[in-house]
Structure 1
Amino acid sequence: MTAAAEPGIPMGASTPDTDPGAPLIKDRAEPAAPVNPHHRVHYLDGWRGVSIGLVLLGHFLPQSMTGIANEGVEFFFVLSGRLMAEILFVDKTALPKFYRRRISRIYPAMFVFVLLTFVGMHWTALAYKPLAAAMALTFTINYGLALAHGVPAIDNLWSLCIEEHAYLLLGVIAFIARRRAIKPVVVIAVIAALSAIDGIVSTTVFHQTYFQSYWRTDARLASIFFSAAAFLVLRNRKVPPRTPLAALAAGVALMFAPVPIHYSLGSLCLAIAVCTLDSAYKPLLNVLSVRALTTAGLWSYSIYLWQQPFYRLQHHGDIPLWASIALGLGMGVASYHLVETPARRWLNAHWRSWKPPFLFAAAAVPAA
């Protein structure tokens, strides 16, 4: 899931501190104007709301429906690719600021989640070891989960690992592109293609399972990078309003295709859908902009974190379904209001002068 701006796995459809109550999309005959990064884009928040809704349906419905949750994560990933491409390659946000905001968006809520589940689940079937907590907090647990064994209470963090790895790599590409005559869209597209091929080879040649292959960054990076490349190619192009709807329908239909096709061609279709969403039919944008979906989108990161242990407890038979849903949503909303939002605002207000002690410090101001 995640995709800070984002998991995050979202995550982060423009600045998170702006007013969530702006009006819905107005009638227009032409495609939407370019997104203003200083204002919330409600239909992107709504896309995120759909994403977390799919995750919840897939987890709290019978276990045979888990594919729906996987599709929800894919919705998160392609949204992150679009947003990161805009932040890094269109707005050309200074890299120290970019990473500060990613950290403030993701890390505090995740740290509290890992700490509380490590202590709170100690006497349950979901107890996990300090090594798993350390791998989670260093964004390496996705490889532990893919290559070793599961950690049910926190194994949703695999998607945050992939998000963070993507942010790091996109930042490196942005750093180089601001100083060398390279076309970032070409580099991003090549990496996306190589990642998709990696996943295809892992599943068809080495016969790895979905978890063994597509919980690894090298095989799943394609979802985010396809979207980043698609946004850079399509952002100034006028496309028919049916394009995002057709691409979305194709991407959802390919959910039922074999796994390698789902996470290559299917991912590309979803990427095109979210990257051309500004040109979509007004009714679709208004549906995505309804308050229920945009609010769910705002809460989605914290809910994504906290639904995990409770849906697992319910599957173990330790708590009833209604209690698992209530606890997952309740803890998620509480995390958003008590941890995620205040921590993000405090950090963004207090470390403006901080610069990371590595090469990105040199990228604070784009090269001429």
Structure 2
Amino acid sequence: MTFHAYIVWDITDEIRPYWQFGWMGVDLFFVLSGYLIGSQVLKPLARGESLDFSDFYLRRAFRIFPAFFVVLALYALWPDFREQPGMQPVWQFLTYTINLLIDTTKNLAFSHVWSLCVEEHFYLLFPLLAWLLTRRASLRKTVTVCLLILLGGIALRSFIWLHWMQPVQNADDNRYGTIFLEHIYYASYSRLDGLLAGVVLATIQVWRPAWWTRIQTKANGVMLVGLAVVAAAMWIFTDRTGFVATSIGYPLLSLGLALLVCAASSTQSWLGRWRVPGAGWLALASYSLYLSHKAVFHLAQKALAAYPQVHGLAAFACYALATLLAGALLHYAVERPFLRWRDAWLRRPAQKQLSIGVTDSAGA
């Protein structure tokens, strides 16, 4: 969210050193999502159980749709809510294809949901792929698929840079940056590295528990290696749209972040023992904050225009407070009620089965 402070032009110079790599938070999110969703899908498969696709997609729908639809309605019906004037057609948001069809030269309002589109594509395809791979589980088959995804992404991004970006690198227009955003940074087919890294972590934990335990005992060493790899990725990404960063930067960054996630999941590590006050609440409200923060930044900036004496970091504190309040409102008014309804809805079949079991026992 701090990275998106470019919307608030008057403070960006003061905080620029702190947010220039803030976009990497999305890659951390992808790694975490791959790890958590991967674990959720793979655990029943590893036990030899069938995968309940309807349960999985119902849980995702209750989690994603309500808050998203509310914010999308505000963007669509209230033009002043938008941080940028131009916006893609609503149907692209509803079908989660905005990241594949967006025109970044004209329509950047609510564009940050490109990462939600990547997530939705992951939710749609990963359970089916996991089910297919585990019907006859094979380490060789799994490694082959992972390598194909990894090397395919590197090859695709390299091709796009060499054949589409390099020819217009020195052009006076913004085609170079447009191609980067639309085909490298936003597109699902270019951004699978973080999700893949997280799924690999989940696969090791679920299918190779002895390996996972051995790694966990060396969590601090894993953390140090992860920090070194992330630092190397940050150095590569000083030229964020260059060929090296575009081709191998994302898998390198994903590897480093995956190592940090692995270390943090161990209670034997410094990261695993570290408790940050307030982090739990931020984690719970993070989705609502993610959806609303750019529009709230914009609205706060318009409100502060009447108070020129409030500027710089003081203005940023106002933006941050407004974002937290708006995110909390969306979380408690929309997100949490639907999550409760989801839990109640999903408990009904179990309660029904229990009731049938008790009746049968009584009849017997």
What is the aligned partner in structure 1 of residue 185 from structure 2? Answer: 214
Cα deviation for residue 192 of structure 1 reads 3.1
Contact kept in structure 1, 2:296 and 2:326, CA below 8 Å = no
- Residue 334 of structure 2 corresponds to residue 335 of structure 1: no
- Residue 20 of structure 2 corresponds to residue 67 of structure 1: yes
Cα deviation for residue 74 of structure 1 reads 1.1
What is the aligned partner in structure 2 of residue 142 from structure 1? Answer: 99
AA partner of residue 259 (structure 2): I
AA partner of residue 302 (structure 1): S
AA partner of residue 270 (structure 2): P
| Distance (whole Å) between structure 1 residues aligned to residue 163 and residue 122 of structure 2 | 25
Cα deviation for residue 318 of structure 1 reads 7.2
Secondary structure, in 3 states, of the residue corresponding to 2:107?
coil
Query: In the TM superposition, what are the counterparts of 1:97-246 in structure 2 within 5 Å?
Result: 97-122=55-80, 126-129=84-87, 131-145=88-102, 148-149=104-105, 151-181=107-137, 183-184=141-142, 186-207=144-165, 209=177, 210-212=180-182, 213-233=184-204, 236=209, 237=211, 238-239=214-215, 240-246=218-224
Secondary structure, in 3 states, of the residue corresponding to 1:69?
coil
| Distance (whole Å) between structure 2 residues aligned to residue 284 and residue 124 of structure 1 | 38
| Distance (whole Å) between structure 2 residues aligned to residue 99 and residue 257 of structure 1 | 38
Deviations 1:51-82 (A, max 9, x none): x6x65778776175653331111111111111
TM-score, normalisation: structure 2: 0.71
Residues 75 and 274 of structure 1: CA distance in aligned 2, closer, same or farther (over 3 Å) = same
Unaligned regions of 5+ residues in structure 2, if any? 46-50, 166-175, 238-244, 306-314, 350-364
What is the aligned partner in structure 2 of residue 309 from structure 1? Answer: 295
Quick check: which one's helix share is greater? 2
Contact kept in structure 1, 2:28 and 2:194, CA below 8 Å = no
Equivalent residue in structure 1 for 2:236, among 257, 264, 284 = 257
What is the aligned partner in structure 1 of residue 270 from structure 2? Answer: 283
Residues 58 and 352 of structure 1: CA distance in aligned 2, closer, same or farther (over 3 Å) = farther
Percent identity, aligned pairs only, is: 27
AA partner of residue 167 (structure 1): Y
Deviations 1:246-271 (A, max 9, x none): 24313431123143233121222212
Cα deviation for residue 203 of structure 1 reads 2.9
| Distance (whole Å) between structure 2 residues aligned to residue 118 and residue 303 of structure 1 | 19
Contact kept in structure 1, 2:219 and 2:262, CA below 8 Å = no
- Residue 326 of structure 2 corresponds to residue 326 of structure 1: no
Cα deviation for residue 231 of structure 1 reads 3.3
Residues 178 and 115 of structure 1: CA distance in aligned 2, closer, same or farther (over 3 Å) = same
| Distance (whole Å) between structure 1 residues aligned to residue 302 and residue 100 of structure 2 | 25
Secondary structure, in 3 states, of the residue corresponding to 1:291?
coil
AA partner of residue 140 (structure 1): T
What is the aligned partner in structure 1 of residue 240 from structure 2? Answer: none
| Distance (whole Å) between structure 1 residues aligned to residue 345 and residue 262 of structure 2 | 34
What is the aligned partner in structure 2 of residue 269 from structure 1? Answer: 256
Residues 96 and 274 of structure 1: CA distance in aligned 2, closer, same or farther (over 3 Å) = same
Query: In the TM superposition, what are the counterparts of 1:11-90 in structure 2 within 5 Å?
Result: 62=12, 64=16, 67-90=20-43
What is the aligned partner in structure 1 of residue 48 from structure 2? Answer: none
Contact kept in structure 2, 1:81 and 1:224, CA below 8 Å = yes
TM-score, normalisation: structure 1: 0.71
| Distance (whole Å) between structure 1 residues aligned to residue 343 and residue 86 of structure 2 | 32
Which moves more between the two structures, 337-346 or 319-328?
A: 319-328
Residues 193 and 333 of structure 1: CA distance in aligned 2, closer, same or farther (over 3 Å) = farther
Contact kept in structure 2, 1:81 and 1:228, CA below 8 Å = yes
Contact kept in structure 2, 1:227 and 1:272, CA below 8 Å = no
Compare CA radii of gyration and give the structure with the larger one. 2
Cα deviation for residue 232 of structure 1 reads 1.7
Residues 203 and 293 of structure 1: CA distance in aligned 2, closer, same or farther (over 3 Å) = farther
Residues 329 and 83 of structure 1: CA distance in aligned 2, closer, same or farther (over 3 Å) = same
AA partner of residue 253 (structure 2): G
Residues 57 and 279 of structure 1: CA distance in aligned 2, closer, same or farther (over 3 Å) = farther
Deviations 1:311-359 (A, max 9, x none): 34567897554443232221111111111111122134336789xxxxx
Contact kept in structure 2, 1:247 and 1:272, CA below 8 Å = yes
Residues 248 and 127 of structure 1: CA distance in aligned 2, closer, same or farther (over 3 Å) = same
| Distance (whole Å) between structure 1 residues aligned to residue 137 and residue 81 of structure 2 | 57
